Amino acid sequence: MNGDRILCTIDQGTPTFEAGRTAVNLVCAGDSLTGWNNFGPHSTWPFPTYPDFLQELCIPLGLRVANGGIAGEISDNGPQQVRDYLDLFPNARYFVISMGANDLGTWRDTESTSRRIIGNLARMAQMVLDQGKQPILFNVPHANEAAFPPRIAAEIHAKRDFHNPRLKAFCDEHGIPLADICSRLRDEHFGDNLHPNAEGAKIIAEQVFAVLSSVCGQS
């Protein structure tokens, strides 16, 4: 990985960040599946994240990536996060957005929670589109089910099985590109019960890049 080229929002205000933010082409927004910018410097993050691997994949496309992930973020906070990043990275053309895992883990009513997530993602995507830019979403992965008692693992799995098809239907209806990471990640791709390890982060990056490449080819 070449993390030197990626910008992290934790570094806002530093000369390197200020010098590089207008060169960013692609912004990754989301929760801890994306980044740990509320935890401190990138070198201290507990797990690798997909934007590092995505940056490597994006070199042939000439794209520079910014990581704006916030650990613990829920989708209610997503519109403000995206609004901030539209201002912070004015020349970015692509916004990869992923939220919902923390919502599904917080509220018991899966049906209303799924509607809430999709409504918030719809607002985020529309904000990006209104600026003439391209949103890309990805779905909520299953957890490391081996780390949970069987009953809890089944509940977590069922929530993803309920939400992800509805997210896909929304994206299909509105023509928003969606990367399917849920079907690609297995228990061995996690570093703890919920967060991908390096191999898992690489898989997410590859799925996002496949969708991004398709979008770039159409533009």
Under 8 Å between Cβ of 37 and 10:
yes
The pLDDT assigned to 217 comes to: 75
Q: Helix or strand or coil: residue 30?
A: strand
- Classify residue 154 by its DSSP letter: H
Among 27, 7, 24, 25, smallest CA distance to 15 is for 7
Which residue positions in the chain have pLDDT lower than 50?
Answer: 1-4
The tens digit of pLDDT for each residue in 45-95 reads 999 999 999 999 999 999 999 999 999 999 999 999 999 999 999 999 999
Amino acid at 183: S
Check residue 198 and give its pLDDT: 97
* Cα 143 to Cα 98: distance, rounded to the nearest angstrom: 15
Domains assigned to the chain: 3-218 (3.40.50.1110)
**Tokens describing residue 74:** 């829920």
Give the C-alpha separation, 65 to 92, whole Å. Answer: 9
Give the pLDDT confidence score for residue 25 in this predicted structure: 96
pLDDT at res. 16? 93
The enclosing H or E element of 7 equals strand 7-8
Helices (H) and strands (E) in the chain, counts: 7, 6
Per-residue confidence (pLDDT) for residue 218, from 0 to 100: 66
| Burial letters 160-174, b for 16+ CB under 10 A, else e | beebbeebeebbeee
Give residue 61's identity as a one-letter amino acid code.
L
